[in-house]
Structures are given as C-alpha cells and as structure tokens.
C-alpha cells in the first residue's frame, strides 16, 4: 500500500488496469482531489490533470493510451466510438483518484450539435462536469444555446477566442456560477444589471462605456441582492470614476499611479456580502464582494487588508457623528460628539489609516 501511495496518478491509473485486485487496492488509498480536463479535438480526446502536468491519456475509437517517457502505450485496446472510450477512461480514473469536478474543453474543428448531444447523453459527462470551455471555435448558435441550456450556478462556462454576434441573447448567459466571456461586445448594461447570486463574471472585450460602468457600480452598491463575488469588466474606453463616491464613505488603497482600489460598504442591510472592493485600472475594473471578516476569498487575505471591514465600520460611525455634529447647536452634544469622533480617529489611526487630501487611505 505504501508503494501505491508514493505513485503519481498516471502510475496508479496504469496499475489499476492490471487486475481487479489492483483496482481494489488503488481505490482504498484515494485521498487528494483532482480536476481532470477532457479536450475534445475532432475524433480524439485528451485527458489531463490540472494538478499533474505529466498525466495525459489519449482516447480514440481503438481504446485509450497513456503518455510515457518513450511515447504512448495502450492501456486499453478495444474498438468502440471515441466517446465511449473516453467515458470508459474517465470511469476508470474515478476508481483511482478523487475527482472534484470534470472540465470539458472543445476547440477546432467545431463539434457538431449531434456530437455534443452524444457526449452529454453519457452519465459520466452529464453528472461530473463542472466547467465547459469553448476555445477558438467558430461561433455556432445551436452549440452555444445547447450549453447555455445546461446553466447551473454550481458550474462554469468559458467562451474564449470566439467572435460572438453583437445581437446575441440568451436568458442563461449569467446563470452559471462562473461566467467567462472573452468577446462580450454583445453584453448590454441591462444584461449585467440582471446578474444575481453568482460567483464570478469576466467580460474581457465589451462596448460598454465609462458611463455604463459608473452606472453599474452605483447600482451594484445600492442593490438589495448579492449579485456576484468577483467581476471584471473591460470597457471600450478609459473609465472615469471621479465623483462617483462623493456621497459615500470610502477607504482608498493606492497601488500605483494607474491602479487604485476603493473599499465601500454595500448600502442595503439585506446584503450578505457587505464589504465591496473596486480595483480600477485604466480601462477595466475588478469588483469583489465579501462577507464581513471573510479571509478565505482568493486565499489568505493580505496583512494590510485584514482589518478593512473594522475600519469601514469605524469610518461609517465617524461620518454619522460628523453629520450629527453639524446639525446640533447644543453645547453638551457638541462636546460629546467631538470626544466620540476623536476616539474613533484614534482607533482608525491605530489600524494603519492615514488621510491624503482628506481621504482615508490604507
């Protein structure tokens, strides 16, 4: 068993095919989770592992074979369709490693709709996939619609290096957990304002203007619903955010002369992910939403940002007291508010905040 534990996935996969006993033994030591990806390329398919660059299995109508130091050698030789042999190889792999999710990748030549339907008629693919990628294919409405009709907020879609028609529409374009579109020129402001409860959205090429982005950010801050956890929007022009935050309590982080990050608290109390971040570069913004004190997003939170939510709460309280101070003429309340503001400023300073031109900065 110890020897099997020391084997890499490719070696364990090959060993499991030698006998039923070995297949059983290998099953007993499944520990680490993997994300395999199938690339369908014409009548061939290639199975790789994101966590192991040396693992590669090629499937065709004659069976499937593993890549080794001296080329490929057959692991299973039996004439079936290439889809059948791919499904068989994945099922065998399921016996060897824990699969957290299966990525399915299509590239040129374009798969036909008939072939797509055959692939997803197999429960192996239908029940295990977590991400579908269309990469560099010629746009085909039937193919894209077929995939969008499988929308699931636990799963992901990527359409990359594919020119999409400017009038493209589908009700499910933002109803996957992750929605990644290389060519998003067809996306309108109305489309993105309808986004609700997804994890990630990436729009790398759009015809959205600076005003569109400003309007969207304003609606996002004030939306009563959580829209997304992470979103990138690349505009067709330089994005101007000046004046957008004038009426808001904001914490700034200066990354470099062309990159700024702004932290803001969502306005509606109904929001679960209240801590908002806006990373602004020249022609794009990256927007994130987090739960208060959530340090799990994107790995370990940087040390300087670990207290951001606490800082934002203090800044909000300070802003409220300053408004109260301006609105009263009662001497007792003036002293009370002034003392409370001084105490808040002390706490804010202790958390590493300085003021630049009157703006709180970390």
pLDDT of residue 2: 44
308 contact partners, CB below 8 Å, separation of at least 6: 251, 263, 275, 362
What gap in Å lies between CA 152 and CA 301, rounded to an integer?
29
Would 82 be classed as within a structural domain?
A: yes
Three-class HEC string of 236-270? CCCCCCCCCCCCCCCEEEEEECCEEEEEEECCCCC
Most distant pair of Cα atoms in the chain: their distance: 92
Would 185 be classed as within a structural domain?
A: no
What gap in Å lies between CA 290 and CA 312, rounded to an integer?
13
Nearest residue to 204 (alpha-carbon basis) of 187, 229, 190, 228: 187
What gap in Å lies between CA 333 and CA 340, rounded to an integer?
10
Q: pLDDT tens digits, the chain, 362 residues: what are they? A: 445 454 556 665 565 666 665 565 555 455 568 899 999 998 999 999 988 888 899 999 999 898 876 778 787 888 899 999 999 999 988 888 888 899 999 999 999 999 999 999 999 999 999 999 999 999 999 999 999 999 999 999 999 999 999 999 999 999 999 999 999 999 999 999 999 999 999 999 999 999 999 999 999 999 999 999 999 999 999 999 999 999 999 999 998 888 999 999 999 999 999 999 999 999 999 999 999 877 654 444 566 678 999 999 999 999 999 998 888 888 888 889 899 999 999 999 999 999 998 899 99
Which sign does the torsion angle of CA 8, 100, 71, 11 carry?
positive
Would 118 be classed as within a structural domain?
A: yes
Would 326 be classed as within a structural domain?
A: no
Q: Token digits for 305?
A: 């940002």
- Between the two ends of the chain, the Cα-to-Cα distance in Å is 53
Q: Residue 46 is part of a domain; what is its CATH number?
A: 3.30.420
pTM of the predicted model as reported, rounded to 2 decimal places: 0.87
CB atoms within 10 A of CB 123: 10
Q: Token digits for 176?
A: 């996957």
What gap in Å lies between CA 304 and CA 215, rounded to an integer?
30
Would 146 be classed as within a structural domain?
A: no
Would 47 be classed as within a structural domain?
A: yes
Would 272 be classed as within a structural domain?
A: no
Q: What number of helices (H) and strands (E) belong to the chain?
A: 11, 19
pLDDT of residue 25: 53
Q: Give the number of domains in the chain.
A: 1
CB atoms within 10 A of CB 159: 22
Q: Which long-range contacts (CB under 8 A, 24 or more apart) does 255-261 make?
A: 255/279, 258/282
327 contact partners, CB below 8 Å, separation of at least 6: none
Would 42 be classed as within a structural domain?
A: yes
pLDDT of residue 347: 96
80 contact partners, CB below 8 Å, separation of at least 6: 61, 63, 88
**Which residue's structure tokens are 């636990």?**
154
What gap in Å lies between CA 265 and CA 291, rounded to an integer?
10
pLDDT of residue 20: 61
Q: Which domain holds residue 77?
A: 1-138
């Amino acid at each position: 068993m110890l020897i099997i534990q020391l084997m890499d996935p490719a070696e364990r996969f090959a060993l499991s095919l030698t006998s039923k006993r070995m297949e059983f033994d290998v099953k007993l030591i499944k520990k680490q989770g993997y994300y395999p990806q199938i690339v369908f390329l014409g009548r061939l398919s290639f199975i790789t592992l994101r966590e192991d660059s040396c693992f590669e299995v090629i499937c065709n109508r004659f069976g499937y074979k593993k890549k080794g130091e001296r080329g490929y050698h057959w692991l299973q030789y039996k004439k079936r369709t290439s889809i059948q042999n791919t499904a068989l190889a994945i099922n065998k792999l399921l016996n060897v490693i824990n699969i957290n999710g299966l990525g399915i990748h299509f590239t040129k030549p374009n798969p036909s709709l008939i072939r797509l339907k055959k692939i997803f008629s197999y429960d192996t693919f239908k029940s295990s996939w977590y991400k579908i990628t269309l990469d560099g294919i010629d746009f085909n409405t039937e193919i894209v619609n077929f995939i969008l009709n499988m929308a699931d907020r636990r799963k992901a879609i990527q359409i990359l290096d594919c020119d999409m028609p400017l009038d493209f529409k589908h009700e499910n374009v933002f109803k996957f957990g992750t929605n990644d579109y290389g060519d998003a020129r067809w996306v309108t402001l109305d489309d993105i304002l309808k986004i609700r409860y997804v994890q990630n959205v990436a729009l790398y090429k759009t015809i959205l203007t600076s005003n569109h982005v400003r309007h969207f950010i304003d609606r996002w801050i004030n939306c009563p619903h959580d829209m997304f956890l992470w979103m990138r929007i690349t505009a067709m022009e330089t994005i101007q955010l000046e004046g957008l935050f004038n009426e808001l309590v904001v914490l700034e982080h200066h990354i470099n002369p062309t990159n700024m990050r702004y932290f803001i608290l969502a306005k509606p109390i109904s929001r679960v992910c209240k801590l908002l971040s806006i990373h602004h570069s020249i022609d794009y913004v990256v927007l994130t939403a987090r739960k208060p004190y959530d340090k799990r997003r994107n790995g370990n939170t940087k040390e300087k940002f670990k207290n951001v939510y606490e800082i934002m709460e203090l800044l909000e309280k300070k802003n409220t007291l300053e408004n109260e101070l301006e609105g009263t003429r009662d001497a007792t309340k003036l002293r009370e508010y002034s003392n409370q503001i001084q105490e808040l400023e002390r706490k804010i300073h202790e958390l590493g905040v300085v003021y630049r031109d009157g703006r709180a900065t970390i």
